[in-house]
A and B are shown apart, each in its own frame.
Chain A
Amino acid sequence: MTTVWAGLATGAIYSLVAIGYNVVLLASGTFNFAHAQLLMVGTFLAYTGAVTLGLPAVPTVLLAAAGTAAIALIEERVAIRPLLGRSDAHGALITTVGAATILDGLAAAIWGRQPLTVPSGLPDRPLTLLGGAVRPVDLALIGLTLLLGVGLHLWTRHTLVGLASLASAEDRQAASARGINVRLLGVGAFVLAGAIAGAFGLLVGARTYAVFDLGHALALFGFVAIAIGGSGSQLGGLIGGFATGLIYAFAVRYIGAAYPQLVVFGVFLLILFLRPRGLFGAALERRV
């Protein structure tokens, strides 16, 4: 059961990345490769708040959320907006990788290349729950991620803004013609995704350390979560993330410490091959 808890806690982080991808994808149809880097920046800002400035938990979370949201806003302005309306769809492939790389480089320059320990402020002693040991911070991470994922899922399906975002992801021009402010929606999605990533910086950092290349692994596993869950499905991404975490944890436990990434890679290839739309995604037909 301890393995399950470890898997769920790691998986929660992957779910967070997948949720961030989906928030932007649903509102603007863009895949923001740099989202995992936003989470990385969130962990560093949480470190700055909690350690450098010595702030309590709530102001730290607010600081990290606001800071990361601001960076997401800049990213949207610099790397995404200039590409809107281009016929060539490959631009974002390059610019978001560029933005991610700049964030990596800046984080390394500002906070150094050594991992930093982020204190969560929660007690460190593991609890015994359902026959397995779990740290309170991990429990908080799992719980809040679940809450966020389900909340966003309901929000997209049942509120006007959520439905508008679905509509504009489907067809920007049609949505625009219906009076939806497509651009504002896109910017809003980036800010929301950034704020979420920042707000979770403290909990994520407490589990993984703050380190400049955190984004690489998270981007990949977050994408595996999307591949499992189907792109654009918040619930799918949530489940996909937890599933990825569990696969990872069980591979470590039963195969060996060198293998979990290989196993996840194998699962990833298998899913792309057998169910390219994800286990939960519906097949969409191409439009001409």
Chain B
Amino acid sequence: MAAVVNRLRPLGVPILLLLLLAGPGTGLINSYWSRTVMLIAILSLLVSGLNVVLGYAGELAMGQVALYAVGAYVAGYLGVRLGMTDVTLALAAAVLAAVVVGLVTGVPGLRLGGWSLAMVTFFLVILVPNLIDVFEHFTGGTLGLAAAVPTLFGAEITGDRLYILILVVTGLWFAVARNLLLSRHGNMFLVLRQSPILASMLGVSVYRLKLLVYVVGAIPAALAGALFSMLDGFIAPETFTFALALSVLAASVVGGSTSVYGALAGAAVMQLGQQTFTQFQDWQLVIYGAFLLLAGVLFNRGLAGLFHDGVAAACRRGWLPQNRPSAKAAAASEGREPHLGRLDGAVLRTEGLSKSFGGNKALQDVSVEARPGEVTALIGPNGSGKTTLLNLICGFYRPSGGRLLLDEEQVGGRAPYRIARLGVARTFQTPLIPQHMSTLAFVATGRYVTHRVGLLAAVLRLPAFRRGYAADDAEAYALLRLLGIEDVADRPVNSLALGTRRLVEVARSLAAGPRVFLFDEVGSGLDESDLVVLERAIEMIRAAGGTVILVEHNFPLVLKLADRIHVLSQGQLIATGTPAEIQADRRVLAEYTGATDDEATEPATRKGGR
């Protein structure tokens, strides 16, 4: 039974599509319903594009309507003015136009996060009537444009054929969206949505990835526009209103933005609502607004979220078979003793590194060195500059002075993702954990840049994709086993306790096979047994030849693990030495205990005071 359900699961969507396709031809649905289905399909394309941007990359793009207009007018213009009525040509031209508009608005709009893109795209919607007017020669101005009858290889596409065309194009887009979003790329989009900082730490250029997502999201909207012009046969400027933009947004949150098929559900609700309730017109703005407000406040994941919760509950009760994606990965790593391959550690050195914020000197003239196969600890009281130093090494801060060298190459001031690509991995004081992702998938994101599978391979599910995916999963699973937490592989990573999250972060940082590890208070919040695992993992990294920099408050842990300890106080390096030397250093003791015997109050230790 379970095997049958699992076997049929991927076939569900194509079967539904086939039934729908056969609808009008076999008299199953009348023309009213076939038009409704087409309108839902077109709206769902708009919504799906928004979902890619909003639900996965976390950027609000309100310009779907403008791209819809672009698609419609491009297809209309080709047909009417140039006599090119072939649908493949029209759709290709619409996609091309969407990419151009996406780049022109996305390149500036994404420079700053948050509201800039929302406003740029909102502006685009408001400009639509304006642009139609200005380009009256192409668009027919306020009078509109009567579209030519579309053709495919010479055959006219009308009636049932148009119905089939619209459904096939919509089905194809959803296949593309599904393959893209349910892949490492989609996972990386989710990481981006949760934390751009984490994304850049994984070696991803946040700006470029956002631009990619935004441009991909523009494509279905333009396709929808081209299809709509074929359906209605007339392109009227009144179609492309701000109210439509809001209905797309409302459909997105109702269906569930962070989902593939939620777009279909949301579009169906909106379309049927508009057709069924005559009062809808008068109150549509209030209704859309209420949807947005409620969805935003209740944090609900839309209809798709309800569906997933239902399926999860059914699986728990044994009504449906459990889906365990890690099973294959587990099988692949079976029998292998958990061990770490050789790591190609690098020497990380700072020379007189300084950082000031305004007049506040957070770090002054700090020179430290971390060598491969060694654990270098940074200790010091709160506010002594430890995390500032880590942020400088990662590239989150630009140094105010001094040099940062990785194997003698000066890397200070480079963008974080470039430094990450040189093999610097990091964990965070507060673990950065995305939503909607299994632990296994999250650990595998660590390999996104180093073991890259191309976008096209993912969309077409090429053999390269399957191989890469299997290798990623196996490696991620092996790392989880190494840390003794393989039992959480299929759990949503954001459901884990703090201690487990820290271990997951360690696994994630290991996944890329980096050269330098920065562990930021990785031990805090761990219980005894987790600490033992962590100690063992760090020792393994050291033995494998990795360079480890440990920022830690847990003094006993530092003494146990570190080969060399640097002590920071008030932004300055006050001592460097082996654990034994540091333990014997009275100045360090003074910093930590506030003891004030004669030696501890030497002027030298206090000169960093403000």
A-side residues, CB < 8 A to B, are 31, 33, 78-79, 82-83, 86-95, 97-106, 108-109, 213, 216-217, 219-220, 223-224, 227, 258-259, 261-262, 265, 268-270, 272-273, 276-277, 285-286, 288
Contact = CB atoms under 8 A, between A and B. Distances in A.
Interface string B262-299: 00000000000000000000111111111111111101
Given A220-B122, A272-B120, A285-B357, A105 B293 contact: no
Contact of A223 (B119, B131, B134): B119
A93 to B, nearest CB: 5
B297 A83 contact: yes
Q: Which 3 A-B pairs have the closest CB atoms?
A: A98-B292, A105-B285, A101-B289
Contact of A105 (B126, B289, B391, B428): B289
A288 B396 contact: yes
Interface in B299-325: 299
Contacts of A106: 286
A82 B131 contact: no
A104 B297 contact: no
A198 to B, nearest CB: 20
B61 to A, nearest CB: 11
Given A90-B58, A90-B60, A101-B288, A268 B293 contact: no
A105 B283 contact: yes
Given A83-B296, A90-B193, A91-B299, A101 B60 contact: no
Contact of B242 (A90, A213, A223): A213
10 contacts: A82-B297, A90-B58, A94-B296, A95-B292, A98-B294, A105-B289, A216-B126, A268-B120, A269-B104, A286-B396
Residue among A101, A213, A262, A276 with most chain B CB within 10 A: A101
Interface in B464-492: none
A266 to B, nearest CB: 10
Contacts of A286: 197, 396
B292 A97 contact: yes
A49 B304 CA distance: 47
A233 B123 CA distance: 23
Interface stretch (B106-114, B372-380, B592-600): B106-114
Interface in B38-81: 54, 58, 60
Given A216-B242, A220-B122, A276-B111, A98 B127 contact: no
Contacts of B282: 109
Contacts of B387: 288
Nearest to A223: B119
B289 A78 contact: no
Nearest to B201: A288
Contacts of A88: 194, 299, 435
Given A265-B123, A272-B116, A99 B109 contact: no
B115 interface: yes
Residue among B108, B122, B134, B246 with most chain A CB within 10 A: B108
B297 A288 contact: no
B190 to A, nearest CB: 12
Residue among B58, B111, B291, B391 with most chain A CB within 10 A: B111
Interface in B193-236: 193-194, 197
Contact of A268 (B123, B246, B286, B292): B123
Given A98-B292, A98-B293, A93 B114 contact: yes
Interface residues of B, number: 58
B136 to A, nearest CB: 9
A174 to B, nearest CB: 12
Interface string B485-505: 000000000000000000000
B493 to A, nearest CB: 14
The A interface, classified by DSSP as helix, strand, loop or mixed, is helix
Nearest to B388: A288
B188 interface: no
Contact of A220 (B114, B119, B253, B394): B119
A277 B113 CA distance: 11
B547 to A, nearest CB: 21
A106 to B, nearest CB: 6
A99 B285 CA distance: 10
A101 B295 CA distance: 14
A83 B295 CA distance: 12
A152 B282 CA distance: 40
A91 B296 contact: yes
A78 B289 CA distance: 12
B130 interface: yes
A97 B289 CA distance: 7
B249 A102 contact: no
A286 B286 CA distance: 37
Given A258-B130, A288-B391, A273 B115 contact: no
B344 interface: no
A275 to B, nearest CB: 9
B118 interface: yes
B296 A95 contact: yes
A233 B89 CA distance: 49
B367 interface: no
B296 A105 contact: no
A170 to B, nearest CB: 12
Given A90-B60, A94-B295, A223-B115, A217 B126 contact: yes
Contacts of B134: 258-259, 262
Given A97-B292, A223-B119, A288-B394, 5 more contacts: A33-B118, A93-B114, A213-B242, A265-B123, A272-B112
Contacts of A99: 289, 293
Nearest to B125: A216
A30 to B, nearest CB: 11
A104 B433 CA distance: 38
A106 B134 CA distance: 33
Contacts of B138: none
B444 to A, nearest CB: 22
B535 interface: no
A288 B60 contact: no
Given A259-B134, A286-B396, A105 B108 contact: no
B397 interface: yes
A149 to B, nearest CB: 21
B365 interface: no
Nearest to B242: A216
Contacts of A213: 242
Contacts of A31: 114-115
A22 B286 CA distance: 26
Contacts of A217: 126
B108 A270 contact: yes
B290 A102 contact: yes
Residue among B105, B253, B292, B396 with most chain A CB within 10 A: B292
Residue among B105, B126, B296 with most chain A CB within 10 A: B296
A33 B115 contact: yes
Nearest to A269: B108
Contact of B292 (A90, A94, A259, A276): A94
B133 interface: yes
A15 to B, nearest CB: 17
A91 B293 CA distance: 9
A272 B285 CA distance: 30
A269 B120 contact: yes
Contacts of B288: 98, 101, 105
A284 to B, nearest CB: 10
A213 to B, nearest CB: 7
A269 to B, nearest CB: 4
A285 B397 contact: yes
Contacts of B284: 105
